[in-house]
Amino acid sequence: MSKRNRLTKYANAAPSVQRRLCRQICPPPDNRFQSVALLLLGALLGALAMLFLAPKSGKATRRRLKEQAGNLAGKLKTKRPAATQKSGLSRISNWGNYPQTEVKVYEFEDIATLRKIVTGTNNIIARGNGRCYGDSALAANVISSLKYNKFLSFDAQQGIIRCQAGVLLSELLDVVVPQGWFLPVTPGTKKITVGGAIASDVHGKSQHKAGNFSDHVVAFDLMLGDGSVVTCSKEENPELYWTTCGGMGLTGVVLHATLRLLPVETAYFKQESIKAKNLQELMDLFEESESWPYSVAWIDCMTRGKNMGRGILMRGRHARVSDLEKPAQRQNPLRLKSKMGLNVPFFMPGFVLNPLSMKIFNTLYFHRQRARQVTSVVDYNAFFYPLDIISNWNRIYGKRGFTQYQFILPKESSRQGMQEILQKIVDRGMVSFLAVLKLYGKQHGYLPFAMEGYSLALDFPIVDGLFEFLDELDQIVLAYGGRLYLTKDVRMGRDMFMQSYPNAEKFINHLKQINQNFKFRSYQSDRIGITQ
Amino acid sequence: MSHVLILGAASDMAQALAYKFAAEGFDITLAARNSGRLADVAPDLEIRHGISAGVAEFDALGFAGHADFYTNLPHPPDVVICVFGYLGTQETAQSNFAEAKKIIDTNYTGAVSILNIVANDFEQRGSGTIIGISSVAGDRGRQSNYLYGSAKAAFTAYLSGLRNRLAKKNVHVLTVKPGFVRTKMTAGMPLPGPVTAKPSRVAADVFAAFQKQRNVVYTMRIWQLIMLLIRHIPEPIFKRLNL
Ligand SMILES: Cc1cc2nc3c(=O)[nH]c(=O)nc-3n(C[C@H](O)[C@H](O)[C@H](O)COP(=O)(O)OP(=O)(O)OC[C@H]3O[C@@H](n4cnc5c(N)ncnc54)[C@H](O)[C@@H]3O)c2cc1C
């Protein structure tokens, strides 16, 4: 059988056949590198398939390939400096590599320097590690907190840590885990700053139980537009506290924070992965798993019919020493060996992620787990941050970048709403490489993303027509009483924001008092009508 | 636990060295002028690396106070890293002796003043390591920075002699010659990327050299070759070059 035939056969085969084929290509997983390997394999197969399956356009494709390879080589040779020296502007973008902007970036290492910047500049926004996907941390003037990154105190008895806002969660874990502590709330990457975690009021797999980041912040200091520094907590200046948590940097610059940690026996998690044939079954599993402290599901959003929304639910809890199987782990339950990471050193050509390669990846991923249910003990990096092992993985989406469309629907309407949205995605042939489903609980604050309901996060490469398509999805989300996650958003319009966030008006009125003349503003806050 | 004293601890290179040695388990004393501005660094080092760190006031140009400074240190150091230096402005220094003197005193006289004291202590104790951060600029005088270069040349020669003297006393002396390093001191200077090191790279190189008890190291390594070539350009040609 020719390669072309084999690949076509594979991609179009019935699930049971795919399962068999898949196992021949790749045996079930035993370490986290396998998902990486799968990803690369899927991309490669897809790219090859594109070449072979389109014999007529083969020449053109090959020419394009050659061009892109040429571009690439050229780029590697002439590394453009990050800052255009003359204008003093830097070219930056956040995680989605879209939009690309030229802005002025300020840095500070002490409060006096920051105060000078804040009082002397308009149109400013704080920026942490740029892990939001869109334009939340972008404005004409960006204040980077990355050099303001010192630990101030750590009480290893009580589990209270105080640090400057530029400290990364990864650095924080390096410090606290060996002493038997963990973050009660952590998102799917540890490469974010404490300031960014507060401003987006991030959440993670524990949201339904532990709430959001703000629920575990004891206090923080905030620099306002006039350069004054105010301490905020749930007791002291609570209004300012709740406007800042989830306030997307619009109240000022978070300087320091004191966080309450969670005691743990080990750096490991006991995890169960359960396969579900379709969306409804997956949601049943979520509802059965509500007592588990951590849960999330990956779904294959490229399958139609009765298998639509098939996926794998992962639920877990902190492992006790007695859960650990390997003697080395038991001996040192709080210390992880450092593992080698991978890197995507440059932007992949746009064609690598195509519908076929994604379909192959999704199918391989679904079938690599043979049994319906698998129990394992994994370290916290594998449990929370599987994507972090590949630095710059966002580059696989190519230079045009990508966006994440993350929405939430109320629990009552979720089953129907999710079904409708998935159907629409499949019907349109829109392709999401990564889709993550989770059941949420309530969230405090003025602009909470979470509510009791289901959220789905979809990664889309930026292609012509995408934003129009997402506008259509917005209408469905709105009709079901849902909303979009601001820290992932890059395109929603003013109406969508104002209609879907019930306290938007209140937030804006309140913000007017705190942030006079909207000195702090981002491209996002202008776009969605908060500051314009 | 071994203790490292870092002289001139405010610079980017010194901070990188502090973090590197702390990560390897050494206790740290950060000595600098206006040491108050380092107040945040000590607890950060302690929390990140579970070592103990402190700050001490030290002025490289306050020669008279050096002996007291050293005897009053809360911990006798096992490793002393002399990082302080002053690049100055060559053009100003050519016509303004105060600037020239500041360059010479900071890079050379100050180093001699404090390291003499350290050397005598280590010699008596029969142990210890002295690490001097000199510069490739000291390998050959060039018109663009020969005042800085000559002071560093003197410092390099001093370290070489010190090594010769102390080798018999179980005291090690390491001379470090960084090339271009991207720091506050060189901010805004157009440095060629491929031969310009980050401070963290310098720190890693210094630590490796310290562990291997090397005598003289260039960082990055390519500078050893570059300086070899530069040193061997015949003077009749060299003097005509715009270096
Ligand atoms: C792979 C990946 C997985 C993710 N998974 C999740 C997840 O599971 N759950 C989740 O909630 N999020 C998730 N995120 C999003 C990410 O956690 C948030 O966008 C976070 O806010 C990024 O932090 P940052 O330090 O990079 O901040 P940036 O992206 O630089 O900024 C984000 C926002 O915070 C503001 N901000 C940053 N620092 C300060 C400061 N010092 N003072 C005031 N405002 C500030 C900015 O103005 C901006 O509005 C994920 C992102 C990635 C890339």
Q: Token match 């101030």: residue?
A: A152
Chain B: nearest CA to A522, how far in angstroms? 28
B218 catalytic residue (yes or no)? no
Q: Are B116 and B162 in contact (CB under 8 A)?
A: no
- Spatial neighbors of A137 by CB under 8 A, at least 6 apart, are A94, A125, A126, A127, A128, A130, A196, A249, A522
Helix (H) or strand (E) holding B135: none
Phi/psi of residue A415, each to 5°?
Answer: -60, -45
Q: Token match 């949420």: residue?
A: A440
Domain membership of residue A446 (yes or no) is: no
Q: What is the ipTM of this complex?
A: 0.89
Distance between CA atoms of residues B206 and A45, nearest Å: 46
CA angle A350, A352, A358 (to 5 degrees): 120
Domain membership of residue A191 (yes or no) is: no
Q: What tokens does A449 get? A: 């993303």
CA of A105 to the centre of ligand 1 (A): 17
CA of A408 to the centre of ligand 1 (A): 18
B43 touching chain A per CB within 8 A: yes
* Tens digit of each residue's pLDDT (9 = 90 or more) over A187-198: 999 999 999 999
> What are the angstrom distances between the C-alpha of B49 and each of A331, A360, B53, B224?
21, 45, 10, 33
- Give yes or no for residue A69 having a pLDDT over 60: no
Q: Of B173, B191, B172, B171, which is closest to residue B181 (Cα–Cα)?
A: B191
Q: Token match 């993350």: residue?
A: A406
Q: Token match 């030229």: residue?
A: A102
CA angle B42, B48, B51 (to 5 degrees): 65
Out of B37, B43, B193, name the one closest to residue A152 (CB): B43
* A247 touches ligand 1 (CB under 6 Å): no
Domain membership of residue A208 (yes or no) is: no
User: Residues of chain A with pLDDT > 90: what percent?
Assistant: 72
* A273 touches ligand 1 (CB under 6 Å): no
- Average pLDDT (A112-127) is 98
- Give yes or no for residue A218 having a pLDDT over 70: yes
Given B19, B70, B108, B148, which residue is catalytic?
B148
Task: Give the model's pLDDT for residue A356.
Answer: 81
* A387 touches ligand 1 (CB under 6 Å): yes
| β-strand pairing of B27-32 with B3-7 | parallel
CATH numbers and ranges of domains, chain B: 3-238 (3.40.50.720)
* Tens digit of each residue's pLDDT (9 = 90 or more) over A496-531: 999 999 999 999 999 999 999 999 999 999 999 999
CB contact under 8 A, B44 and A151: yes
CA of A194 to the centre of ligand 1 (A): 9
Q: For residue A68, which amino acid is it?
A: Q
Collapsing DSSP to helix, strand or coil, A312 comes out as: strand
Q: Of A39, A133, A137, which is closest to residue A402 (Cα–Cα)?
A: A133
Domain membership of residue A41 (yes or no) is: yes
Chain B: nearest CA to A151, how far in angstroms? 5
How does residue A85 score in pLDDT terms, banded at 50, 70 and 90? very low
Out of A79, A110, A175, name the one closest to residue B47 (CB): A175
Task: Give the model's pLDDT for residue A55.
Answer: 44
Collapsing DSSP to helix, strand or coil, B32 comes out as: strand
**pTM of this prediction?**
0.89
Domain containing residue A19:
1-79+268-399
CB contact under 8 A, B48 and A152: no
Spell out which residues of chain B touch residue A160, defining contact as CB-CB under 8 Å: none
In a 13 Å sphere around the CA of B232, the CA atoms on its Cβ side amount to 6
Task: Give the model's pLDDT for residue A244.
Answer: 98
Task: Give the model's pLDDT for residue A511.
Answer: 97
B45 → chain A, closest CA residue: A151
Weakly modelled stretches of chain B, pLDDT under 50: none
CA of A95 to the centre of ligand 1 (A): 10
Collapsing DSSP to helix, strand or coil, A290 comes out as: coil
B188 → chain A, closest CA residue: A85
Collapsing DSSP to helix, strand or coil, A369 comes out as: coil
Helix (H) or strand (E) holding B185: none
Give the least confident one: A87-96, A176-185, A403-412.
Answer: A87-96
Q: What tokens does A478 get? A: 């709105």
* Tens digit of each residue's pLDDT (9 = 90 or more) over A418-456: 999 999 998 988 878 789 999 999 999 999 999 999 999
Spell out which residues of chain B touch residue A110, defining contact as CB-CB under 8 Å: 37
Spell out which residues of chain B touch residue A164, defining contact as CB-CB under 8 Å: 40
Task: Give the model's pLDDT for residue B158.
Answer: 98
Domain membership of residue A527 (yes or no) is: no
* Tens digit of each residue's pLDDT (9 = 90 or more) over B75-88: 999 999 999 999 99
Domain membership of residue A224 (yes or no) is: no
Exposure string over A477-497, b if 16+ CB within 10 A, otherwise e: bbebbbbbbbbbbbbbeeebb
What's the total number of domains in chain A? Answer: 1
Spell out which residues of chain B touch residue A153, defining contact as CB-CB under 8 Å: 43, 47
Spell out which residues of chain B touch residue A154, defining contact as CB-CB under 8 Å: 47
| β-strand pairing of A453-461 with A342-343 | unpaired
- Give yes or no for residue A282 having a pLDDT over 60: yes
CA of B161 to the centre of ligand 1 (A): 54
**Residue B55 forms beta bridges with which residues?**
B30
- Give yes or no for residue A78 having a pLDDT over 80: no
Out of A79, A150, A171, name the one closest to residue B40 (CB): A150
Chain A: nearest CA to B39, how far in angstroms? 10
Domain membership of residue A92 (yes or no) is: no
Give the least confident one: A3-17, A271-285, A289-303.
Answer: A3-17
Chain A: nearest CA to B56, how far in angstroms? 19
Task: Give the model's pLDDT for residue B187.
Answer: 77
| β-strand pairing of B172-178 with B129-133 | parallel
End-to-end CA distance of chain B: 46
Domain membership of residue A231 (yes or no) is: no
